[in-house]
Amino acid sequence: MKQKQKYRYIDQAKKTIEQEEGTIVKDWGGKLPVALAWPNSYRVGMSSLALHSVYRLFNDEPDVVCERVFFGDQQAPRHDEPVISLESQRRLDEFAVIAFTISYEMDYFNVVAMLRRAGIPLFAEERDESWPLIIAGGPAVYTNPEPMADIFDAIAIGEAEGIVPPLVDALWDVSDAPRQEAYERLAQVDGMYVPTIHQGGDHIVPRVWIKDIETHPTVTQIYTDRTEFGDRTLVEIARGCGRGCRFCMAGYVYRPMREMHLDTVLSLARHGLKHRDRIGLVSAAVSDHSWIDQIAIELRKMGARLTASSMRTDPISEPLIKGLAESGNQTLTIAPEAGSVRMRKVINKPQSDDQIMHAVELAAKYNFPQLKMYFMVGQPTETEEDVDAIAQLALAARAIFPRNMAI
């Protein structure tokens, strides 16, 4: 790559940092350098609350400097675009550890592309201690680590809050160790699956999860307009889901459901309102939160504009719907998933037609410009009658909701 072109990418990274608020920049002296790698574009990565959380967790460790690295500024970077960190514009191979956060299986291809562009050997067996340790976490790999087991030195099975602190201790212990010795030490960390140690054996790596999510609140760390949610502070109000819909991974891998207390949610929101006037409530099922009515009412009293990530119709919170409408949200989205009650029971999402229609009535009552209804077809045991029921349910909703509808 020409020197002029190289400096263009460095300048681009610096300009990106200048447009952010909340970036953590540390001196490298005496610290363990960790590259937090997101195998997709900057816009997609910075829209993920998980990336914000892991970035903060690593940097909360006083002897760690953690910097972000993305697949590229755009969805399809040039093949010769350098893979450099945002905070100090360093190459991947200058870090002691490269930690990938992977939420989607399709990003596996981008992991491969990033390592190749960085000139780092792809397979773990090809890398000795002269190369960075390459680890991974996130729902895609911890639900099924095997597709990427030949690439990563270790894979985190569980939630970062319970894994990062002991992992950092282990990484320091092996900072100058031969690779096999490093593997043996990493395998001692609860929740760390080390393929060269664990593959082919009968040892099960148990999932690590935290009982109290209030000890590590998950909120927006870095504010930038270059994301899908740049106009708001995201606050995780609950983790996990007690429902167990049979098509939903989140309902199983994040068990048990854990809620953030009302007072904590309001405290986090007050802080967030110093940065943005909109608060995004994040959970697998926002309307299932024990205090959702009070959360919606109190946030509106604060003057916050509300958004919500996911809602069920059984029950549905009218104060939340009212708050969303008052906040200027243009669309109310519900997900019956199936048209017939029978199919909804099959997938373990047994909402009644009356509950679904009540949600539609609320959308009409509070004058949402648009109503979206999500359905799935091709589910096990599905019949033509079940598919026809989707149209019937949509027509029933249409009779109640007079404005724009999307199915």
Question: What would the pLDDT profile of 314-354 be if each residue is shown by its tens digit?
Answer: 989 999 999 999 999 999 999 999 999 999 999 999 999 99
Between 150-164, 178-192, 306-320, the lowest mean confidence (pLDDT) is in 306-320
Q: CA-based Rg of the chain, rounded to a whole angstrom?
A: 23
3-state secondary structure 255-285: CCCEECCHHHHHHHHHHHCCCCCEEEEECCC
Whether the pLDDT of residue 219 is over 70: the answer is yes
Q: Residue 70: its pLDDT value, please?
A: 97
Q: Residue 2: its pLDDT value, please?
A: 59
Tokens of 18: 């200048």
pLDDT 10s digits, 71-87: 987 666 777 788 999 99
Q: How many other C-beta atoms can be found within 10 angstroms of the C-beta atom of residue 188?
A: 12
Q: Residue 97: its pLDDT value, please?
A: 99
Q: Residue 6: its pLDDT value, please?
A: 74
Q: Residue 123: its pLDDT value, please?
A: 98
| Average pLDDT, integer, range 221-231 | 96
Residue 393 CA to residue 338 CA, distance in Å, equals 9
If we measure between CA atoms, which residue out of 370, 284, 362 comes closest to residue 322?
A: 362
CB 222 within 8 A of CB 46: yes
3-state secondary structure 131-187: CCEEEEECHHHHHCCHHHCCCCCEEECECHHHHHHHHHHHHHHCCCCCHHHHHHHHC
3-state secondary structure of 244: coil
Residue 147 buriedness (CB in 10 A; 0-12 / 13-18 / 19+): exposed
CB 313 within 8 A of CB 356: yes
Q: List C-alpha distances in Å: 359 to 245, 314, 344, 384.
A: 19, 9, 16, 26
Query: Does residue 133 or residue 252 have the better pLDDT?
Result: 133
Whether the pLDDT of residue 309 is over 90: the answer is no
Single-letter residue type at 235? V
Residue 197 CA to residue 200 CA, distance in Å, equals 9
CB 265 within 8 A of CB 309: no
Q: Residue 3: its pLDDT value, please?
A: 66
| Average pLDDT, integer, range 359-379 | 97
Tokens of 76: 């399809």
Half-sphere exposure of 311 (CA within 13 A, CB side): 27
Looking at the chain, which residues constitute the CATH 3.40.50 domain(s)? Answer: 3-198
Q: Residue 57: its pLDDT value, please?
A: 98
Looking at the chain, which residues constitute the CATH 3.80.30.20 domain(s)? Answer: 213-406
Q: How many other C-beta atoms can be found within 10 angstroms of the C-beta atom of residue 296?
A: 27
CA terminus-to-terminus distance, the chain: 48
Residue 331 CA to residue 311 CA, distance in Å, equals 13
The partner residues of 99 in beta bridges, in order of sequence, read 36, 135
If we measure between CA atoms, which residue out of 285, 293, 287, 199 comes closest to residue 242?
A: 285
Between 75-79, 96-100, 111-115, 219-223, the lowest mean confidence (pLDDT) is in 75-79
Q: Which CATH architecture has domain 3-198?
A: 3-Layer(aba) Sandwich (3.40)
Whether the pLDDT of residue 359 is over 70: the answer is yes
| Average pLDDT, integer, range 374-393 | 97
Q: Residue 76: its pLDDT value, please?
A: 64
| Average pLDDT, integer, range 109-125 | 97
| Average pLDDT, integer, range 212-216 | 95
Residue 386's pLDDT band, with cuts at 50, 70 and 90, is very high
CATH 3.80.30.20 holds for 213-406: yes
If we measure between CA atoms, which residue out of 214, 184, 190, 167 comes closest to residue 63?
A: 167
What's the whole-model pTM score? 0.94
Query: Does residue 79 or residue 35 have the better pLDDT?
Result: 35
Residue 155 CA to residue 99 CA, distance in Å, equals 9
| Average pLDDT, integer, range 297-319 | 93
Q: List C-alpha distances in Å: 21 to 12, 31, 212, 223, 225.
A: 17, 23, 28, 5, 10
